[in-house]
Structure 1
Amino acid sequence: MTLSKPSLHVLQVLPALNSGGVERGTVEFANELVLRGHRSTVMSNGGQLVKELENNGSTHLLVPVHKKSLTSLLQVRRVRHILNELKPDVIHVRSRAPAWIIWLAWRKLPKENRPRLVSTFHGMYSVNKYSAIMAKAEHCIAISNCVQDYMLTNYEIPPSKITRIYRGLDPKSFNSNACNPQWRASLLQEYPELENKKIILMPGRLSRWKGQEAFIKMMHLLIQIRPDCHGVIVGSAEPQKEHYQSELLSLTSSLGLENNISFMGHRSDIQAFYGFADVTCHMSNKAEPFGRTVPEALACGCPVVAFDRGGASESLNAGFPKGLVEPDNIQAFAQRIAELLDTHPEFYLPKEFYLNQQVDNTLGVYEKLLSNEEQAN
C-alpha cells in the first residue's frame, strides 16, 4: 500500500542491528516504509539484520553510534555532515547512546533545515541525565501505557508531547497457521516426550527477571493437578550468564521434573511453538515495558496466562483478560492453566497490536510534526 501523501525520508538510529525486539522492530518498520513508497535509512554499528534490511529496500549507514562512552562524541561532527547530506524529513532515535550523538549534531543545524526529531521509549530507563536525552526529542513515543505513565512521572514531558503506540507484530509471521504438520512431526521426532502432552510454553531468554524459576516451580504444582502437562522452555542464556541455565537444570532435577520439562535453547521458529503449545506463560518478576510474547502467542492462536503487571497486562487485558493472574502467585497461575485446559477459551488480538496499525500511527506522528512549523529548541 502506498500513501497518497508525499513520500518521506525517515532515518532510524539505534546502536546495532543484531537480535532483539528493538532491532527486529526497526527492520520491520523500515520494510513497511519502503512498501508504502517512503525512503528508509537506518544508522547503526551494523549486525546480522543489515542484509535483510538492505534486501528489502532500505539503506544502512555503518556508524559507531553504539558506545556508551564519551569517545562517542567524536562522531558528532561526522553525523552532522551525514545529516546535511541526507536531508531526511524525520530522524527517529531508538536508544540513548545514539540519541546523544544525533541530538548534539541536530541542534547545531540551521533551524529551517532541521529534520523533525522523534524518540521512542522502548523501556523504563533509569532516571538520570544520561537517559533524559530521550525526552529532548520534539515528540516521544511510548510503547505501552505503563511506559507512558513512567515518562510522565519521571521526566518533564508534557502529555501533548507523548503518543502511545504499541509495538506491532507482522501477521505474515505470527498467525494461526504458524505451526504446520511438517514442523510438528519434525519436533516430535526430535522430542518424543512431547507426544500426547498438553504443552505449556515458556518463551524468552534465560534471565532471572524473566521468571523461568517461577515457571519450573509452577510446573511442579501443575503436574500434580494435570499429569498430562509438559513444560517447554525456549530461550538461551545471555552471554557470560550460562551458569543460570545450570541453576535452572538443577532446580528442575531437585523437583523431580526431568521428564516433565524440556529445554529447547535458542530457536528461530518461536511462532511455530506458539501454534504448537496449549498455553503460553509470561512470568516476569517485574513489570516489562511491553512483553511481546503475549501478543505474539495470541496472534498464533495460543491462550496466555500472565502475571497482572506491566505491558504484558495491557495486551492480555485487551485480548484475553481471563489469562491474568495475581503477580507472583504461582499456585493461582497453575490453577488458571488447569482451568483453561478444560475449556476452549475465546480470545483475540486487537488491531492496535499489529504492524500495520503501528506504522499508521507512527506516520501520523511524523506528519503532524511536519505540518507544524514550530521547532523544538
Structure 2
Amino acid sequence: MDSLHVLTYDIRGHVPETGQERRARNTGIVTHTHQILAGLARNHPRLRLAVCHTGTEELTRYQLRTPERFTALTHGIPTRFPGLLTGSDGRKDPQAVHRYYEAGIDDPDNPVWNALARSYATALRAAGVPMVLAQGLNPLVSALKAADQGLLRDLCPAIVGVVHDTAGMQQRLRWVAERVHSQQDPVRLVAVSPAIRDDLLATGLPRDMVRLVPNGIDAHQFRRRLHRAVDSGAWERVCARNRLPGQGPMVLLSARRTPWKGHDDLIRAAQLLDVARPRERWFVAINGAGMCERTAPDFERYLRTRIDSLGVQHRVFLLDELEADEVAACYAHAGIAAHPSRQAEPFGYSNIEAMLAGVPVVASAHGGPLAYIEHNRSGVLVPPFDPPTLAEQLARLLDDDRLRAQLAASGRASARRFTTAAMTAGYEAALADAQAAAQHLEALT
C-alpha cells in the first residue's frame, strides 16, 4: 500500500504554513483514526496520506503534519449547512438533521447529501488517491453519492467503510447495504465490534463483505502517557480548578456530554448512594466538557440543573475542559470508572483506557463492552436505564478493595488483547479486499 485517503470526523496535527497546532476533540473516532495512523506509520513509513475532516464553514485545503509524522493533503468539509440544519444561533435542529441525513437518504434532490457529495468529490479528485478509508457512514455515503453523480470522473476508488455506530442510522445503513450488496462499487465494510457486525449482517449483507476488526490501542504508549500525566502534576491542576474533594475514591465518567451516554443515570445513582451512605467519602467526576452534540446543545446546562435539583453538588462534579495529560491523570487517580450508556456502545475506547489504567469498569450490558467485559471477572455489567442497580454495584465496589483489585487485574488483561498491531493488520486486509474488488470491476469493464 503506497497511498491512502482517510475521511474522518477530526484529526490532530501541525499546520506548517501557519505554525499553528490543529487540536481535535478527544472522541472515540479521533482516537481510532490516530491509532490506525500510528500502525500504518510503522508498517508503511513512506505512505502518501490524504485526509478529509468535517465541521468547517467552507471547503478548505491545507497541508497537515500529523503526530505520526505524515504530511497529508487535508481538506475541511463543510457540514453545518446554515438555514438547513442550523438556525441563526448556530445550533443544529435534531428534526432537520434526521430529515436530511436519514429520512431523505433516497431523495435525489436532497441539498445536504448533494452538497456533501460535491465537497468530498472535490477533495477526492484533488488528492487523486485510489484507496479510501471512510470513518463512519456519513463520509461513506457522501463518497458513494459522488460516484453516483459522476463527480469522481476517472477516479474509481476502492473504499473501506468503517462502521462505528448504527443507532438512528437505519435508512443510511440500508442504503449502503444495497450499494455494497449490488457490487456496483469496490466497497468493503469494517465493523469495530461484534455488535456492529451483527447489525450489518442483519441487513442481508454477505459475510465476505463485512470484516470484524475490533478497535485497538497502543498499551505501551498509553502507559507512558499515564506516567507523564502523574509526573507533570496534572491531577493537582484538575483538583484545584474543579475544587474536587481531597479524599475519598473517585467514580469517573469519561464520555461526550450527550444524553445517551447515561450521565443522568449516574447522577441519580449518586443520589441513591448519598442517601444510603451520607458520611462516607467518595465522589463522582464527569469529564467531557466542550464535547456536546449540536443536536443537544443545552445538555450541559441540564446536567448542572439536575445535580442541583437532586442535592448532590457535594458528590458530583462536572469537570471543566481538560488537556490530554489531565484526562490521563483522571484515569490514574480513579477508583472506579462508570459508563452506563443508554444506547449500545459501538466499542467504548474510554472503557479500554480505564481498564489499561487498572481501573475497574462498570458498564451497560449491551454493545461493544460485551466483547471485553465478563461480568464479575473483568468488570461489572449493569442494565441500561437502571440507576438503582448501578448504585448497588458501585456500593459493592466501594466496599470491597479486594474485588476492585481483582477486577482491575482481569480488566487490564482483557484490554491488552485489543492491540494496534492486530487492528492495523485487519485494516490492511480489508483495504486489500477492496483493492481486489476494484481490479475485478475494472477487468469486467
Q: TM-score, normalised by structure 1?
A: 0.83
CA deviation vs aligned residue, 1:290-322 (integer Å, no higher than 9, x gap): 222111110111110012111133232399544
C-alpha distance in structure 2 between counterparts of 1:58 and 1:156, whole Å = 39
Q: Equivalent residue for 2:305?
A: 250
Q: CA deviation at 1:127?
A: 2.1
- AA aligned to 1:243 is D
Which one of 147, 151, 164 corresponds to residue 200 of structure 2? Answer: 151
Q: What percentage of residue pairs aligned between the two structures are identical? A: 17
Q: Equivalent residue for 2:171?
A: 128
C-alpha distance in structure 2 between counterparts of 1:26 and 1:270, whole Å = 19
Q: Is 2:349 the counterpart of 1:292?
A: yes
Match of 2:170, SS?
coil
Match of 2:256, SS?
coil
C-alpha distance in structure 2 between counterparts of 1:297 and 1:339, whole Å = 19
Q: Is 2:206 the counterpart of 1:164?
A: no
C-alpha distance in structure 1 between counterparts of 2:329 and 2:46, whole Å = 32
Match of 2:133, SS?
strand
Decide whether the 8 Å contact of 2:4 with 2:129 is kept in 1.
no
Q: Equivalent residue for 2:77?
A: 64
Name which of structure 1's ranges 308-317 and 288-297 shifts more when overlaid on structure 2.
308-317
- AA aligned to 2:69 is N
Give the gaps of 5 or more residues in structure 2.
12-23, 57-61, 82-111, 181-185
Decide whether the 8 Å contact of 1:288 with 1:310 is kept in 2.
yes
Q: Equivalent residue for 1:213?
A: 264
Aligned residues: 366
Match of 1:366, SS?
helix
CA RMSD, Structure 1 to Structure 2 (Å): 3.4
- AA aligned to 1:206 is R
Q: Equivalent residue for 1:25?
A: 32
Q: Is 2:105 the counterpart of 1:103?
A: no
Match of 2:304, SS?
helix
Decide whether the 8 Å contact of 1:252 with 1:258 is kept in 2.
yes
Decide whether the 8 Å contact of 2:188 with 2:209 is kept in 1.
yes
CA 62–194 in structure 1, closer or farther in 2 if over 3 Å, else same: same
Decide whether the 8 Å contact of 1:138 with 1:375 is kept in 2.
no
Q: Equivalent residue for 1:199?
A: 250
Q: CA deviation at 1:324?
A: 1.1
Q: Is 2:279 the counterpart of 1:235?
A: no
CA 189–326 in structure 1, closer or farther in 2 if over 3 Å, else same: same
Q: Which aligned pairs between 1:248-327 and structure 2 lie closer than 5 A?
A: 248-268=303-323, 269-317=326-374, 320-327=377-384
CA deviation vs aligned residue, 1:120-163 (integer Å, no higher than 9, x gap): 1111052225762376353110011111111111x331011111
Q: Equivalent residue for 1:3?
A: none
Match of 2:332, SS?
helix
Q: Equivalent residue for 2:191?
A: 142
C-alpha distance in structure 2 between counterparts of 1:167 and 1:130, whole Å = 20
Which one of 432, 439, 442 corresponds to residue 367 of structure 1? Answer: 432
Decide whether the 8 Å contact of 1:307 with 1:326 is kept in 2.
yes
Q: Equivalent residue for 2:66?
A: 53
C-alpha distance in structure 2 between counterparts of 1:256 and 1:318, whole Å = 31
Q: Is 2:2 the counterpart of 1:8?
A: yes
Give the gaps of 5 or more residues in structure 1.
1-6
